[in-house]
Amino acid sequence: MSLAAATASLAASDMQPPPPGSFAGAPPQFTRFTAAELERGFMALAFGSDLRIGARPRGIRRFDHPIRAVVMGGGSVDRSARMREVVAEYDRTVPSLKLSLASSGDADIEVRLIDEKDFNGALVAAFGAKIAKDFIARTDPQCMTSVKSNAAGDIVRSVSFIIVDKGDDVFLDCAYHELLHAFGLSNHDQRNVWTTLNQNRMVGYLTAYDRDLLDILYDRRVRPGMSPVAARRVLPRVIRDHGFSVR
């Protein structure tokens, strides 16, 4: 089913082609949404996670300080420069992230580039055999991100594993998808036809919808640890003040 057909009964509007640099065959995107469409997507994606390391937070998880990301090159295809461009795009288009690239040393987000054959072993090395086995059995992942947070909901560290040797489409889809998780949109929503975090879609770029959700997540009124009830109270004003919605 095409994106246009899937959204025929919804209010999203202003369809645009995929941006320059997208892989061949990348889907188009809608760029304007109702407040209800944004709120529903935010609530579905900002709460819950396939893999959680550390204390179980009671609500929103996000960084509460400027974010430093490092790209750790590896694998048989050199995609380090392109991955750094993806990180830079997030910094440029979502300034509230306060994101910067680190060349080495301590970082809040580690992006590890690996070949597919090394994926399972990398998960075991990072998280232990039991956690890796359970996660793989539940989700059959192509790439993955671990988000470690404290009990207050502050993200302490995120680690993303990105496959580099399965083509441009898999690499770009993983790159944009996993960074959304790393910033705090930790869940998936297979019913949402606009987000990269629908595992039934391959997108490969930062959509207007996901950019809006990140801007909402990093609004100063949306705090780490905020409960779903508290988030629903502030979301209408946040969405309105940012001018995201069409109505």
Residue 11 covered by a domain: no
- For residue 53, give its domain range: 48-242
Q: What whole-number distance in Å separates Cα of residue 228 and Cα of residue 145?
A: 23
| DSSP codes, 73-87 | --SSS--HHHHHHHH
C-beta of residue 166 within 8 angstroms of C-beta of residue 73: no
Model confidence pLDDT, tens digit, residues 209-229: 999 999 999 999 999 999 999
- CA pair distance 206, 229, nearest whole angstrom: 28
Give the CATH number, domain containing residue 131: 3.40.390.10
Compare 3 and 198 and report the one with higher pLDDT: 198
Residue 84 has pLDDT above 60, yes or no: yes
Of 26-40, 102-116, 117-131, where does mean pLDDT reach its minimum? Answer: 117-131
φ and ψ at residue 111, rounded to 5 degrees:
-110, 110
HSE, CB side, 13 Å, CA atoms: give it for residue 207.
Answer: 29
- Model pLDDT, residue 180: 98
Number of separate domains in the chain: 1
Q: What is the mean pLDDT of residues 63-83?
A: 96
* pLDDT at site 53: 53
Assign 169 a pLDDT band (cuts: 50, 70, 90): very high
Residues 121-133: pLDDT tens digits? 888 877 778 777 7
Residue 1 lies in a domain: no
Q: Is residue 6 part of a domain?
A: no
- Residue 138 clears pLDDT 70, i.e. is over it: no
pLDDT of residue 129: 81
Residue 55 in this model has a pLDDT that exceeds 90: no
How far is Cα 175 from Cα 84, in angstroms, rounded to an integer?
10
Q: What is the pLDDT of residue 8?
A: 44
Say if 4 falls within a structural domain: no
- What would the pLDDT profile of 7-28 be if each residue is shown by its tens digit? 444 567 889 999 999 999 999 9
Would 24 be classed as within a structural domain? Answer: no
pLDDT confidence band for 236 (50 / 70 / 90): very high
Residue 32 lies in a domain: no
The pLDDT score that the predictor gives to residue 214 is 98
Is the Cβ–Cβ distance between 103 and 71 less than 8 Å? no
Asked if residue 19 belongs to a domain, the reply is: no
Residue 88 lies in a domain: yes
